[in-house]
């Protein structure tokens, strides 16, 4: 409890410029309150923010990138750049590397997560992002495909409407920015519980994080994740699983998984990635 209290106090302290990783379930509000994108700009330094947009997941990088440029500029960021990286060679470009070495926030747009990883994985540009996120110099946000790439294991595609089974979900290697998690996005909106559960059955050393549209799971450096936005974040935690038939069944046979833990979190709720505990939004320590 003492530890929880210390963490809580840390969370409630204003930390507008402390970096974070914002994992967004796609279709975030770009018109009205724009709470998620506004929080990203705030955590990137508010009026001092230097934001670099990477639209490489998209087939229309100019259009989608241009929209985010206007939004972040309207929100008062001091500098907004679009790095229109379309192939791996560009990831060695000194100008791009310099932009990423100096910016305070990186935004990964939606599109196709396989395309995004194909361009960025194991490149100089990616190494700069990874190191600066790890050292707490850089706030990172990814939406939709840009969210899917956050884990080491990545859901590349999949189905729904059938019993959980291994063939239901296509796995690939992500960018590993939060290696402990497997992210799914547009989560309840596209009925993706079954593919996340199927993914976790094959990777029981990870935690499944399913993020609804216009909803953000914001990861702090101390291990706390906080939910905000319109929908919910679903956590599928296999730590206590006592049995699965996953290693022994064919790809289309139904999976068995006993003793998963599941949390449905909504606005203000917190979850600790290492303690594996959830705290409600209104959690207060009174003494």
Residues that bind a second copy in the complex, under the rule CB under 8 A? 160-164, 188-191, 193-194, 197, 201, 212, 215, 230-232, 236, 242-243, 245, 253-267, 269, 278, 280-281
For 3-32, b/e burial (b = at least 16 CB within 10 A) is eeeebbeeeeeeeeeebbbbbbbbbbeeee
How far apart, in whole angstroms, are the C-alpha atoms of residue 56 and residue 48?
A: 25
Q: How far is the CB of 168 from a second copy (least distance, A)?
A: 9
Which residue, 88 or 276, has its beta carbon nearer to a second copy?
Answer: 276
Can you spell out the DSSP letters for 136-170? T--EEEEETHHHHTTSSEEEEEE--SS---GGGEE
Q: Say which of 44, 56, 99, 144 is annotated catalytic.
A: 144
Whether 243 is catalytic: no
Which residue, 212 or 220, has its beta carbon nearer to a second copy?
Answer: 212
Which residue, 50 or 263, has its beta carbon nearer to a second copy?
Answer: 263
Q: Say which of 28, 81, 213, 220 is annotated catalytic.
A: 213
Q: Say which of 186, 220, 232, 246 is annotated catalytic.
A: 186
Which residue, 125 or 193, has its beta carbon nearer to a second copy?
Answer: 193
Whether 144 is catalytic: yes
How far apart, in whole angstroms, are the C-alpha atoms of residue 192 and residue 17?
A: 34
- Beta-ladder partners of 75: none
Q: How far is the CB of 285 from a second copy (least distance, A)?
A: 15
Q: How far is the CB of 4 from a second copy (least distance, A)?
A: 13
Whether 213 is catalytic: yes
Q: How far is the CB of 114 from a second copy (least distance, A)?
A: 24
Structural contact between residues 19 and 45, judged by C-beta atoms closer than 8 angstroms? no
Structural contact between residues 125 and 97, judged by C-beta atoms closer than 8 angstroms? yes
For 94-103, b/e burial (b = at least 16 CB within 10 A) is eebbebbeeb
- Catalytic residue positions? 144, 186, 213
């Amino acid at each position: 409890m003492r530890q929880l209290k210390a963490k809580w106090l840390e969370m409630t302290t204003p930390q507008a410029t402390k970096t974070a990783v914002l994992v967004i379930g796609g279709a975030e509000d770009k018109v009205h309150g724009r709470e998620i994108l506004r929080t990203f700009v705030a955590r990137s330094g508010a009026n001092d923010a230097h934001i670099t947009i990477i639209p490489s997941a998209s087939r229309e990088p100019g259009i989608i990138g241009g929209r985010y440029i206007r939004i972040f500029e309207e929100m008062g960021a001091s500098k907004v750049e679009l790095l229109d990286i379309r192939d791996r060679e560009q990831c060695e470009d000194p100008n791009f590397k310099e932009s990423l070495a100096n910016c305070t926030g990186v935004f990964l747009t939606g599109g196709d997560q396989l395309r995004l990883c194909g361009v960025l994985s194991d490149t100089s540009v990616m190494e700069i992002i990874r190191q600066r996120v790890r050292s707490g110099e850089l706030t990172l946000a990814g939406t939709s495909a840009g969210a899917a790439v956050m884990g080491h294991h990545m859901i590349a595609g999949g189905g729904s409407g059938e019993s959980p089974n291994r063939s239901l979900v296509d796995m690939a290697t992500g960018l590993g920015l939060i290696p402990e998690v497997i992210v799914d996005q547009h989560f309840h909106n596209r009925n993706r519980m079954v593919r996340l559960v199927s993914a976790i059955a094959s990777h029981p050393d990870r935690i499944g994080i399913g993020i609804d549209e216009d909803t953000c799971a914001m990861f702090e450096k101390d291990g706390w994740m906080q939910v905000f936005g319109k929908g919910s974040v679903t956590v599928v935690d296999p730590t206590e699983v006592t049995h699965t038939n996953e290693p022994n069944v064919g790809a289309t046979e139904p999976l068995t998984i006993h003793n998963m833990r599941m949390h449905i979190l909504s606005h203000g709720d917190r979850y600790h990635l290492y303690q594996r505990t959830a705290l409600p939004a209104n959690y207060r320590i009174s003494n």
